[in-house]
Structure 1
Amino acid sequence: MKLVPSAATVKNALSAHAAIGLLAGALLYLVCLSGTVLVFYEEWQRAEQVDAPEMTAIDAQAVQRGVAAVLESERGKPPTTHLYVHLPVPELPRATITTDTQAVHLDAAGRIAAPEENKWSEFLYGLHYTLHLPGVVGITIVGILGMLMFALSITGLLAHPRIFRDAFRLRTRHGGGVGLADWHNRLSVWTLPFGLAIAITGAAIGLASVTAYALASRYYGNDLEAVYAPIFGGEAKPDTAPGPVPAVATALDYMARNHPDIAITYVTLHDPMTAGQHIQIVASPPRRLIFGEYYAFDAAGRFHGTAGLSDGAIGQQMAASNYNLHFGNYGGLPVKIAYCLFGLALTVVSATGVYIWLGKRRRRGVYEPRLLGAWHGVIWGAPAALAVTLVARFAFGNAAPFTAIFWGLLVLAIVGAVLVAGRRAAAEASIGAPATI
């Protein structure tokens, strides 16, 4: 007996196949859109809390007082595993301390000035980095989307042998989707180096976590820190016995004396107020693409060495360069503006690519108005929902449920567009009108 699926089964399978492709396209579009907006991450933080104290630099003793004040405020709470001090930099001239339970701004004297309020910026970061999915699942999916973007770029080049010759040819008045395809192809060519860089670094960043988990499980007895240690340096063995406030000022004074030309961005305290605590300073060498070098100190502020991100193995330096290359955190505002424009072009490319694909299916006789409606909902619903979350931030403050607002509005936009498309298609079918795309 020969099993042959019915025509209805084949049609449903093709629709499901197309819907899966549409989902992948929608996620890629969201990553491109959120990444374009996220280029101005520091600027968004400043806009969210305009009254936070700002300064071009902060004294080492002021940082010490701030660290002591924050640690004192956490007495009686579960001990924080890490304490981060963000030092003023040109893009974000603020001193901020973050622990496992709180984040506060410091004034120039090291006093606690106010809680940090940048939940919208963090919401945006989460959308781009993990699509608001849990931990390693979300970042892995985003990494896979980076691989998809790379594959689409390469196959697009191979599929259009004249793509560079026609780099400035636009047939905007032609029908049949030709004009849309020309814009898609031209923008793809103009942004090709940027798109490849973003795709490769995004895939590397996104898939690093799942790769590290696999290596830890297979070779390191589930010790994730041991996987990262050869690249970023390891942590000392914990000792939970009580300890004093670490000498952060001493470590900062060492950096000022021995590395006055290197901009310090972060001070990290590992296991603060314990006998096993130690200090780590992140500083960015000038004219380098790496996000920074790690300088290790003990709790008394004595220098122990560097991780080698600036002058170690080439793999270390490449790993440390991924972040700035992907997010545009180098070169100041001009580079950010360029990243924003190129990111906008990539967003348009991802949007038009699906429209072209649906148009080709339509011309082959496979017209799916609901899928087209769903794509309309994604393309116009996502930026609209993002704008509403920003309005909610300034209307209702830091506690507004940005994630729920965004995804709720996006789902409503998609469902509404599908319903409208379905009704329009039914009306056209009832009068024998030709469907359009």
Structure 2
Amino acid sequence: MNLGLSKTLVQRGLSAHAAIGLLASALLYIVCLTGTVTVFYEEWQRAERPDAPEMQRIAPDAVQRAVASVLASEKDRKATEHLYVHLPTDALPRTTVTTDHQAVHVDDQGRVVAKELNGWSEFLLNLHYTLNIPGMVGLTIVGGLGVMTIALSLTGLIAHPRIFRDAFRLRARDRGGLGLADWHNRLGVWTLPFALAIALTGAMIGLGSINVYGLAQGFYKGDMEAAYAPIFGAEGKPNAKPAPLADVAAALQTMTARFPEVRPIYVFMHEPGTAGQQLQVLALPQRRLVYGETYNFDQAGRFLGTVGLADGATGQQVAASAYNLHFGNYGGLPVKIAYLLLGGALCVVIATGTSIWLGKRERRGYRQPRLRNGWNAIVWGSGLALALTLLARLWIGNAAPFKTIFWLSLAVLVVLSTALPERYRVRRALQWSLGICVAALVPAVLGG
């Protein structure tokens, strides 16, 4: 059916359609790139604060002293509702106490030594989780990108019936784009299980909050905590009446005596120092994919039971396994390196997929060099913008405006790249700039 639209209007419509497709691809690429870098989240924290005291273990009594000391320093502030103690792990051998007001590192005697300064690491994690968009909007977008990745992986597999037969076929790069397509297809095959696992768990994490919100509105009168309780356990009823601080040391000693096969990695205290306080220990079971099992204790440190993340209902175990499977937090450094390589390959698949699409449009007569330059700015500019935020961490410090630096620099790069005439080699300039930034960062990061 002919709607009588002018050729100019049709051309603008096609350009808008292509730009929207590029926007979705750009967000997917940024999420994939930041996810690859976030695999080393603990290592980034150690690099940001190299002078923090490190230890393999900390005595239960030292943890008790640390908690009491931190809470005593907050007497003039509003009462802390949630307190967390990160216990030493292989990836992050530090003890850190976090409250509603502060986060501090303590030594093996429980003495407060320094403030936690991991602003860049938190920015990176939030960028991957939500694209720095607050609330459930960001989580929903990222979850939707996970669903998109599943669809792209499966449809790509269906669209290439000989994809496994040609798994190692690589043709020379040529004008027809066959070489680029071969790399896209080959890497797509080799990373397919990884891509599906990452996309599925990412969709679960991103869209889980929306599902829980719907359940809360429909069945729990809008109470989100009640909706989460069947999976992750419920918090106790608040009682603001003052009470002695819960016996964290006794709880940790009980863990060592009764459950020597698990390693405590976190202590949670809800409403500490009140009659309604709740004490929990998160411990990591051996040879399990779950992020941990929650052990509940009373105020005297007596064991009450577990939530069931490691041995409860199947749905609980699946939900508790999604995080580690997504971020590679199992198997130590070898698994992290594997995730780095596979994540990098997935970034290449996304980048080459859009480049192939742009090439096909050009061969059909839709030559749009501005879109091509814009995509090059996303592919190479995202890494450059991320490198600039890390340079800002080194030069300005923990308080640097990382979000503003990343998004503003990326926007400037995209605008400049699309505005420059075609004769300018935008991609080469971005590659050189990224290389220079990385070269400047490597000695600083490795040297601590």
Give the TM-score range, shorter chain.
Answer: over 0.9
1:398 matched residue in structure 2: 398
Instruction: Measure the CA separation in 2 of the matches of 1:89 and 1:282.
Output: 12
1:331 matched residue in structure 2: 331
Residues 59-104 of structure 1, C-alpha deviations (whole Å, 9 max, x = no match): 0000000000111111121122210000000100000011111100
SS state of the match for residue 241, structure 1?
Answer: coil
Cα distance, 1:175 vs structure 2: 2.1
SS state of the match for residue 420, structure 2?
Answer: helix
Matches within 5 A, 1:53-202: 53-202=53-202
Cα distance, 1:214 vs structure 2: 1.2
1:220 matched residue in structure 2: 220
Instruction: Measure the CA separation in 1 of the matches of 2:174 and 2:371.
Output: 24
Cα distance, 1:141 vs structure 2: 0.6
Cα distance, 1:3 vs structure 2: 5.1
SS state of the match for residue 104, structure 1?
Answer: strand
Cα distance, 1:423 vs structure 2: 7.4
2:348 matched residue in structure 1: 348
Is there any run of 5+ residues in structure 2 with no aligned partner, and where? 426-448
SS state of the match for residue 14, structure 1?
Answer: helix
Instruction: Measure the CA separation in 2 of the matches of 1:81 and 1:343.
Output: 38
1:27 matched residue in structure 2: 27
Given that residues 29 and 350 in structure 1 are in contact (C-alpha distance below 8 angstroms), is that contact kept between their aligned partners in structure 2? Answer: yes
Matches within 5 A, 1:285-304: 285-304=285-304
1:36 matched residue in structure 2: 36
Given that residues 173 and 180 in structure 2 are in contact (C-alpha distance below 8 angstroms), is that contact kept between their aligned partners in structure 1? Answer: no
1:256 matched residue in structure 2: 256
Instruction: Measure the CA separation in 2 of the matches of 1:4 and 1:275.
Output: 74
Q: Structure 1 length as normaliser, TM-score?
A: 0.95
Residues 286-325 of structure 1, C-alpha deviations (whole Å, 9 max, x = no match): 0001000010112221211101111111111111110110
Is there any run of 5+ residues in structure 1 with no aligned partner, and where? 426-437
Instruction: Measure the CA separation in 1 of the matches of 2:305 and 2:47.
Output: 38
Instruction: Measure the CA separation in 2 of the matches of 1:312 and 1:262.
Output: 16
Instruction: Measure the CA separation in 2 of the matches of 1:81 and 1:160.
Output: 55
Instruction: Measure the CA separation in 1 of the matches of 2:422 and 2:211.
Output: 43
Residues 104-137 of structure 1, C-alpha deviations (whole Å, 9 max, x = no match): 0000100100000111111110111111001211
Instruction: Measure the CA separation in 2 of the matches of 1:297 and 1:174.
Output: 66
Q: Structure 2 length as normaliser, TM-score?
A: 0.93
Amino acid at match of 1:103: A
Given that residues 172 and 182 in structure 1 are in contact (C-alpha distance below 8 angstroms), is that contact kept between their aligned partners in structure 2? Answer: no
Segment of structure 1 superposing worse, 368-377 or 276-285: 368-377
Instruction: Measure the CA separation in 1 of the matches of 2:373 and 2:12.
Output: 18
Cα distance, 1:33 vs structure 2: 0.5
Instruction: Measure the CA separation in 1 of the matches of 2:244 and 2:149.
Output: 50
Matches within 5 A, 1:232-251: 232-251=232-251
RMSD: 1.3
1:415 matched residue in structure 2: 415
Cα distance, 1:424 vs structure 2: 6.5
Cα distance, 1:139 vs structure 2: 1.1
Cα distance, 1:4 vs structure 2: 2.8
Cα distance, 1:174 vs structure 2: 2.8
Cα distance, 1:348 vs structure 2: 0.7
* Identity score, percent: 62
Instruction: Measure the CA separation in 2 of the matches of 1:209 and 1:377.
Output: 32
Given that residues 198 and 326 in structure 1 are in contact (C-alpha distance below 8 angstroms), is that contact kept between their aligned partners in structure 2? Answer: yes
Instruction: Measure the CA separation in 2 of the matches of 1:94 and 1:234.
Output: 28
Instruction: Measure the CA separation in 2 of the matches of 1:140 and 1:266.
Output: 28
